[in-house]
Structure 1
Amino acid sequence: MISKKCYCGSSKSFESCCNRYISGAQKAPTALALMKSRYSAYATHQADYLLATTHSSERKYYSREEILHWATANKWQKLEITAATENTVEFKAYFIDENNTNQVHHEFSTFKKENDSWYYVDGKFK
């Protein structure tokens, strides 16, 4: 069996990289690991994980249906991390949209650790 490389761009297989967080087998140990797993969750249409890893103070602004639509409407091509600190990640997510147009989502994201788990708080578009 051939293991698919992880969507986040690592050289590891999806199973041994981001899927261990998405499946709940492990918690993402850093904000960067959470960010990468969230990208992989978009690529694999895991809306429940995306909601669960959004900080509780921000969840009311998102719906499972909207997340799933955004995830499935686009073809996710590549993730590029441009900068990261303990609780921030700047990234570019490359995708092809519903109109078959190449797009780049460039965001500066903030994360927060609570009760030994990392959560996405918000993002500013660049």
Structure 2
Amino acid sequence: MRIKNVLFIFLTLVVLLLAGCSADGGKVTARDVLKQNQDADILKYDGLIYSNVTKLEWFQEKKNQIQKGEEIGKIKKVTTASLFFTNFSATKLPKGTLLYDTNDGYKGMIYVETEDGDALYYMSLLEG
């Protein structure tokens, strides 16, 4: 029950963030996200911020349709400092974690495989 409350709060914050954010030409920044949730699980790739959506209820049905595609890089830095949150930076993923695109037509999705073999899914955050 507590996880649902945390997920609801997180989704509410993301919606508010997306609705009110106009910095960086319509792109959500690490600063925007970390200002709302210091414990956010995000990464940056190709100038966009991606948020972990793996355990979100609405995503559960979609995740079976998403497959690992080509490798696109690996995490170079782990940080919660938004000032120097550059491409291939992450807040939770360990340095060296491989990132993959998806080969299923989903734009704005990154597939991550942990050392334990678990699949994680990150979705890009854009201003709405």
TM-score by length of 2: 0.29
Larger RCO of the pair (alpha carbons < 8 Å, separation 6+): 2
Give 1 or 2: higher strand fraction.
1
TM-score by length of 1: 0.29
